[in-house]
Structure 1
Amino acid sequence: MRQTFTIGLILIATILQAQNWRLGFMGWLDDQHYLERRADEKDAKKIVLLKVNAKTGSTSPYEANSPRKEVQKKIPKEFQLSWRAPHTKDFKQVILTKDNNLYLFEKATGEVRQLTKHEDLEENPTFSPNNAYIAFTRKGNLYTLHLESGKETPLTTDGSDKVYNGWASWVYYEEILGRSSYYKAFWWSPDSKQIAYLRFDDSPVPVFPIYRSTGVHGELETMHYPKVGDPNPLVALGICNITTNKTVWVDTDKNIDQYIAWPFWTKDSKQLLFQKMPRDQNKIELLLANPQNGSTKRIYEESRPTWVDFFKDIYMLEDNSGFILRSYQNDWYNLYYYDLNGKLKTTITDVPWRINSIKKVDEAKQIVYFEGTGTINTDMHLFSVNLDGSNLKQLTKGKGEHIAMLSPQQSYFVDRYSSISKAPSRVLYDINGKEIRTIVQSQTPEFDPTLHHKMELFRVPSTDGKFDLPVVWTLPSNFDKKKKYPVVFRIYGGPDAGGIKDAWRGWNGNNLTDMGIIVVSVAHRGSGKFGKKGLDYMHRNLGKWEMEDYFAVVNWLKKQPFVDTNRMGITGSSYGGYLSALALTYGADYFTHGIANLSVMDWQLYDNVYTERYMDTYQQNEKGYQQGSVLSHVDKYKGKLLITHGLMDDNVHVQNSIQLIDKMQDAGKEFEMMFYPNERHGWGGPKGKHARKLKESFWKRAFFEE
């Protein structure tokens, strides 16, 4: 009866909190006005939408006309407007897809016009900056289509099942361009007259088989997947003039095993800035390419004894005076201003803490706005600094996470602020950091130990004393220091993964704390919280220092009288699954139970770009590979491990879990496993529900029934 009552109160509190989240700042309409949701003065259950004058606070009713919703209402029923549907900024034109073909929706007329008629799917349709064309890929070739005339033009013709123009090879998609690219590997010039694109040839790359068990005979799927030491795809950078349809190939040495990626056009479209690094990934070069003849000029170079990363957020200045680089030159991400000849104009910032991103550059006023942690590495703040490096200011105040939403011309910003013990608020400030008004203030619920799961942020020193590791734990409701509680580490733990923030998550806990388990998260030295000096510990040592830092936290926990040292669990997926399996083998003296999901078990079995970045090749670092392999430590295993994996995982192949299972069986070790047929690297639906129940059952049996 008490439990039902408690759940009811928590549910009511959750509903009220959700109602509160519906209120408040909804976005900027222009530099002087923002949109706000408020409860109607006459009927508190009714929500009204208001246009608010930032300076005076005066309001007027606002009719929300979402362009996307307008389009959705007008398009014929046989079309679906997906969230990825390409559109002009004003939504006057939208690209729709049906039966593998592209259609153009004109908002003004409500008409839908078919653009392509082909049996093969068109991928990543993208408007040119002037909205006159779209570009897309089809079956390994790159095309443009003139929207007014409907004329389709192939820019390449050699595409095949191994050659892709403007479409990324898998390892580039996964590790270099990123999943958000959706394999897109072409970039319009600002003047809409040229397209830069990458051409991939997967001929040298080994093929990996993936088995689909559906049907009587099953089906074999193959993919070009380069593992450690394997040949890479051959890559070339081309620039196509869409008037002549001729490609100029950028001058890069095709005989060198290197990576080429992340081009940025200069604002006048006369030059293309691109990046290359050798396979060792310990040096990066920025080069300017001439679209007329493909010649290049190197303007920047950076190297480290460990590894470097591609610059994915270079800011090209509108006046063509140069670019802003966010680089680890001084072991922390800082901002540097270079001209297009590679001359350093200004070290914009030189701070011993992490700068996360550039929010906005006001070129007229020569001011850069950026987000960074400040001196507390679990915080987040908005800063401003002059382009010449002077007048660095922190604009948000107070410990915790501040997410700033700048007005279009940077006259104001709204600060979405919270901390681990303070519910979120939204406060309006002028650009100098002067508070104007509180838009919404969520009331932090009074903590009730009989109802709530308390979350706390604290720090534990690493064993070598060099780092104070951020730790967050969530304590069960009715927490009693006189009792003994099991612990579960929830981790990901990959290089530069971050993970610990001083931000509100509420008192409502999770499925593990509901069972009476203390849940712990840790940011180890290689999490990015400690800059490049912390990250560099991971070089040639994946697994080692993550484990050492987790061991330090385990040792600290064991000193707490309410922690049951015989029930020390850990769980994670992908890299977190790797560390969970490693914790039950290499770390068997510290961890007793674990769930390893879709995990790398031996780094020789993962892709070469990611693995060699940190580990070098197996031939260069045999000791590191052996030390970091879960397979090497099976003899130490003595706890209870559940292994789960999707049988069609095309990222971390199920081969990883199968090889561990093989070793465990031969060593006579007891464990549990669950494979999910036809599932990839993570899954939802019925099998996702099955996996959640399976894991809950594992912890209940392991901690409370045995």
Structure 2
Amino acid sequence: MTAEADLLDGYDELGGNEAQKRDCKGITTAVLVVVIIMALIFVALVLFTPLFATTHLPSKRLNISDLRTLRYPFAEFQFISNDDDSVIMQSWEGVEQVENGVSHLVFGRENGTELTNFIDISPFSRGPSPSSSSSSSSLPLNARWAEISPSFDLKYFALMDHASNPGMNPQNETFHLKIVNNADRITHNIGLRGDESVIQAFKWNWRSNDFVFVEDNKIYYKRKPEEDGVVKVSNGSQNTVDGLFDWIYEEEIFAKKDALWWSPKGDRLAFASYDNHLTKNITLKSYHRLQAYPIDTNLHYPKTFAKVLPTYTLSIWDKNTEQARQMDVQLKDSLVYHYLLTVKWLEINGTDTLVSVWANRLQNEVALTICDYESAICHLEFEYKYAPKRWVSHDDFNTMVSSGDSLYFLLPHDIRDNAYQHIAALRLSHGEHRTPKFLQLGEYDVTSIDGIDTQSKTIYYHAAAPRPQQRSLFSYSLSEKATRKPQCLTCAITNCTWAQAQVNEEATKAIVSCKGPVAPHTVLLNLTRARNEKMKEKPKETYTELLDDRSYQARVEEAGLPVVITEKIKISDEYDALIKLSIPRDVYQKDKNRQIPLLVHVYGGPNDQNTKESTSIGIEEIVASGQQMAILRIDGRGSGGRGWKYRSAVYGQLGTVEVEDQLQVIKVVLRVYRHMLDANRVAVFGWSYGGFMALSMVNEAAENFFKCAVSVAPVTNFAYYDATYTERYMGETPLESYSDVTKKLDNFKTTRLLLMHGLLDDNVHFQNSAILIEELQNRGIDFDLMVYPNQAHSLPSRTAHVVGKMAHFLKHCFAGEK
């Protein structure tokens, strides 16, 4: 209904008395004319003055503090035991125990009052893909705190306070370790040098209050925090490092620093060791006030086609005999390089057994071994070679489970014109060749195996289903007598399109963290009930809210988050793109016909999903809300969740087809939503691989297609990136065929560029931006540059500055100002 009709209807209601109309006919006519004229003027202002809407509509704008207040404040939930529904969780206050929906503090952070260091809670992680981390309204945005690790029975709490690291080398990150007895509050310094010790890694036993720690590249064992003395587990040295991963393994494979694995019964410890003294270094510089010279940090970092990669060995230590044995891993070709891909303790035929999985350098062949402590041999059990343009991922085997003498892990399963990651069952044959059999699941990717109930013969797994942008927990019966049909166990949970679940040891319960589509929350799910066919009519009886955090729910509801539109757009006869278009709420609800700028947020890395149905607030949401912009996210070829047909499309050609799809879809979206989006004010923003994509998209687009571009920590040529990541996706493609964003750049004469990079970036080295800067200067192209000294890949303590710089840049770029 138009504004004119609204005003006229209002007058009719006010002048509803007929006698009054007759008596005041002349006045009424005059007033009516005035009202109509005013209404027409009002309509003209709305239609032809876009800035008018900005001033007259009430608007809740997101700001930098919302990065903190809107993040889910709880993390790291875990079961205390299988016997009850008690759960412990990490929060900003400390370690809390949750029972019957009520939490109480078990161990507060103030218990270690001298531990005042901080850990990063930046909205971007160090990994190749940006991700959000938890936070709370009570702490500053870049707050850090001492990490807390409880023992299995909550009797002790280990406090890990980060130690000084002058060169800021990520491989030199250490901490001071103290263990507090929660009953008597007695504190014990852990380490060979007491309170002066710097510890590299620490791990409680699963079953008792003993633990191991790494100091000076060696592993030590301690039976109790109170006892004097330690047991030396390994003999590491300057070049041989025990119990730790190097940079490339931590970043690209295991996503953790410690290389320590306790057996399920807690009587043996597996650990990995590496020798990296032959690998080449990258030198990073940090700058410090009142120090005349910068500090040089040398980081082992093998780049694409490097001749030497770090070599790993695997050992098992028995705490009863206090003997360690290095395993003889019997691979068919021991002369070629192998990655250690997975180390996993499993119960096989009632015995704790170590399984290790190794991959070739291109990561398209795997070898699974079964390790025996007594003989110190890991014998080859299974080999698999992937079809062309496919590769292995760490989680394919890291989440494997066992039942009896069978192992269950993930492999590609060809179905019609596609292939999906499905669960494969392998019965151990002790050397005889056997082919794994696939469980009969749906046409979707399984992302992880979460547990197995050996009593009911039920396996639990996560999948990108019912829609590719979702994550759900499923069950599948392994019993031949049961109906062979997967069940979605989290689909009935309210507001749970992106579920992350932690299944207890007996696979009878699960802690489910629902990350979207609106306010995140956590429930306790009864798996036995949930898979019961009779409970389908009463789904709410299968789960209970773990915590009723109404204040957090209210903050999310009141934040005025953007309205999200999801669609599927055809890009060819074979492929569809998925989009997620976010429109500022006040624009969508009250001013749909006002054209606003469009910010394309791109990542585009292999197997990534940018359109997932989860709630997240990143810096792009803050900038877009403040500037009243729409945000567009696109998943095309190369993205995950839709099988190998999509994933394989980028193999050997990073920076090609995924760029084409982004550009094609943007054009379609601008046409379909032309009433809301201004095609003359389009910007692209990306970080890391997304920075590479943002630069590539400007290069490949028509001149002036993008008004401006923001590229943060970009790869400019994967020849400069690490070998493990690059070779996984590029295979044997020669370096001269790699996409190099510095070869074109002419479009940046008309597209304004803001380039941002941390000078201490250990992931995507500043070398990438330095080469780009030089080429832009050689071509006489003007651009904006913001460098961040002493900042790593995520710019951890510069979030507010990044937001401010980006907002200022886009505002002036869209206004046509320098």
TM-score interval, smaller chain: 0.7 to 0.9
Q: Which moved more, 1:333-342 or 1:358-367?
A: 333-342
Q: Secondary structure at the match of 2:325?
A: strand
**Per-residue deviation, residues 2-42 of structure 1 (Å, max 9, x unmatched):** 9789657779xx99xx999999xx99998898699xxxxxx
The 8 Å contact of residues 455 and 475 in structure 1, kept in 2 or not, is answered as yes
CA distance in 1, matches of 2:600, 2:769: 21
The 8 Å contact of residues 167 and 186 in structure 1, kept in 2 or not, is answered as yes
C-alpha spacing 1:207/1:584, structure 2 compared with 1 (3 Å): same
**Per-residue deviation, residues 341-363 of structure 1 (Å, max 9, x unmatched):** 37567532332112233343222
Return the structure number with greater helix share.
Answer: 2
Q: Secondary structure at the match of 2:391?
A: coil
CA distance in 2, matches of 1:290, 1:131: 24
CA distance in 2, matches of 1:32, 1:5: 58
The 8 Å contact of residues 186 and 198 in structure 1, kept in 2 or not, is answered as yes
CA distance in 1, matches of 2:661, 2:313: 42
Amino acid corresponding to residue 580 of structure 1 in structure 2: A
CA distance in 1, matches of 2:519, 2:219: 51
Asked if 1:105 is matched to 2:105, the reply is: no
Residue 255 of structure 1 aligns with which residue? 335
CA distance in 2, matches of 1:97, 1:428: 32
C-alpha spacing 1:681/1:615, structure 2 compared with 1 (3 Å): same
Amino acid corresponding to residue 465 of structure 1 in structure 2: D
Q: Secondary structure at the match of 1:223?
A: strand
Q: Secondary structure at the match of 1:659?
A: helix
Report the CA distance between 1:68 and its aligned residue.
Answer: 2.8
Residue 34 of structure 2 aligns with which residue? none
**Per-residue deviation, residues 495-546 of structure 1 (Å, max 9, x unmatched):** 111121234679x964314423221011122111321121111111111121
Residue 456 of structure 1 aligns with which residue? 565
The 8 Å contact of residues 346 and 388 in structure 1, kept in 2 or not, is answered as no
Residue 391 of structure 2 aligns with which residue? 308
Residue 301 of structure 2 aligns with which residue? 225
Report the CA distance between 1:276 and its aligned residue.
Answer: 0.9
Asked if 1:511 is matched to 2:623, the reply is: yes
Q: Secondary structure at the match of 2:329?
A: coil
Residue 338 of structure 1 aligns with which residue? 426
**Equivalent of 2:486, from 392, 413, 429?**
392
Residue 697 of structure 1 aligns with which residue? 808
CA distance in 2, matches of 1:19, 1:659: 38
Identity %: 20
C-alpha spacing 1:361/1:307, structure 2 compared with 1 (3 Å): same
The 8 Å contact of residues 238 and 247 in structure 1, kept in 2 or not, is answered as yes
**Per-residue deviation, residues 681-700 of structure 1 (Å, max 9, x unmatched):** 11243x33222111001110
C-alpha spacing 1:680/1:411, structure 2 compared with 1 (3 Å): closer
**Per-residue deviation, residues 219-250 of structure 1 (Å, max 9, x unmatched):** 21111111111121122222233424333233
Q: Secondary structure at the match of 1:557?
A: helix
Report the CA distance between 1:673 and its aligned residue.
Answer: 0.8
**Equivalent of 1:608, from 715, 723, 726?**
723
CA distance in 2, matches of 1:436, 1:452: 27
C-alpha spacing 1:566/1:407, structure 2 compared with 1 (3 Å): closer
Residue 317 of structure 2 aligns with which residue? 240
**Equivalent of 1:362, from 450, 453, 470?**
453
CA distance in 2, matches of 1:346, 1:615: 30
Amino acid corresponding to residue 316 of structure 2 in structure 1: I
Residue 78 of structure 1 aligns with which residue? 114
Asked if 1:401 is matched to 2:401, the reply is: no
C-alpha spacing 1:350/1:572, structure 2 compared with 1 (3 Å): same
**Per-residue deviation, residues 573-592 of structure 1 (Å, max 9, x unmatched):** 11111111112223354433
Asked if 1:272 is matched to 2:327, the reply is: no
> In the TM superposition, what are the counterparts of 1:99-178 in structure 2 within 5 Å?
101-118=176-193, 119-147=196-224, 149-160=227-238, 162-178=239-255
Q: Which moved more, 1:632-641 or 1:492-501?
A: 632-641
The 8 Å contact of residues 146 and 159 in structure 2, kept in 1 or not, is answered as no
Q: Secondary structure at the match of 1:329?
A: strand
Report the CA distance between 1:171 and its aligned residue.
Answer: 0.9
Amino acid corresponding to residue 261 of structure 2 in structure 1: W
Q: Secondary structure at the match of 2:815?
A: helix
Residue 546 of structure 1 aligns with which residue? 658
Report the CA distance between 1:117 and its aligned residue.
Answer: 3.6
Residue 494 of structure 1 aligns with which residue? 605
The 8 Å contact of residues 599 and 631 in structure 2, kept in 1 or not, is answered as yes
Residue 684 of structure 2 aligns with which residue? 570
Residue 435 of structure 1 aligns with which residue? 539
Amino acid corresponding to residue 136 of structure 1 in structure 2: F
CA distance in 2, matches of 1:20, 1:529: 25
The 8 Å contact of residues 201 and 215 in structure 2, kept in 1 or not, is answered as no
Report the CA distance between 1:659 and its aligned residue.
Answer: 0.3
Amino acid corresponding to residue 68 of structure 1 in structure 2: F
CA distance in 2, matches of 1:435, 1:373: 21
**Per-residue deviation, residues 615-648 of structure 1 (Å, max 9, x unmatched):** 125xx423531xx221222245431111000001
Amino acid corresponding to residue 788 of structure 2 in structure 1: Y
CA distance in 1, matches of 2:361, 2:649: 20
- Give the TM-score, by structure 1 length: 0.83
Higher relative contact order (CA 8 A, sep 6+): 2
Q: Secondary structure at the match of 1:171?
A: helix
The 8 Å contact of residues 670 and 679 in structure 2, kept in 1 or not, is answered as yes
Q: Which moved more, 1:562-571 or 1:577-586?
A: 562-571
Report the CA distance between 1:558 and its aligned residue.
Answer: 3.7
Amino acid corresponding to residue 435 of structure 1 in structure 2: P
Q: Secondary structure at the match of 1:332?
A: strand
Amino acid corresponding to residue 597 of structure 1 in structure 2: V
**Per-residue deviation, residues 408-427 of structure 1 (Å, max 9, x unmatched):** 67777798779758998979
**Equivalent of 2:104, from 65, 69, 72?**
65
Q: Secondary structure at the match of 2:577?
A: strand
C-alpha spacing 1:142/1:117, structure 2 compared with 1 (3 Å): closer
**Per-residue deviation, residues 54-100 of structure 1 (Å, max 9, x unmatched):** xxxxxxxx87433233xx56x46435796643321221122234675
CA distance in 1, matches of 2:474, 2:442: 12
Larger Rg: 2
Report the CA distance between 1:660 and its aligned residue.
Answer: 0.4
Q: Secondary structure at the match of 1:612?
A: helix
**Equivalent of 1:377, from 463, 468, 473?**
468
C-alpha spacing 1:9/1:27, structure 2 compared with 1 (3 Å): farther
Gap runs ≥5 in structure 1: 37-48, 53-61
C-alpha spacing 1:21/1:575, structure 2 compared with 1 (3 Å): closer
The 8 Å contact of residues 587 and 594 in structure 2, kept in 1 or not, is answered as no
Asked if 1:621 is matched to 2:734, the reply is: yes
The 8 Å contact of residues 33 and 51 in structure 1, kept in 2 or not, is answered as no
**Per-residue deviation, residues 141-175 of structure 1 (Å, max 9, x unmatched):** 22222326433133333410x32111111111111
**Per-residue deviation, residues 399-442 of structure 1 (Å, max 9, x unmatched):** 97153768967777798779758998979884133324696899
Q: Which moved more, 1:290-299 or 1:694-703?
A: 290-299
The 8 Å contact of residues 470 and 500 in structure 1, kept in 2 or not, is answered as yes
Asked if 1:198 is matched to 2:289, the reply is: no
CA distance in 1, matches of 2:188, 2:278: 42
Residue 581 of structure 1 aligns with which residue? 695
CA distance in 1, matches of 2:280, 2:635: 36
CA distance in 2, matches of 1:441, 1:66: 15
Report the CA distance between 1:266 and its aligned residue.
Answer: 2.9
Q: Secondary structure at the match of 1:266?
A: strand
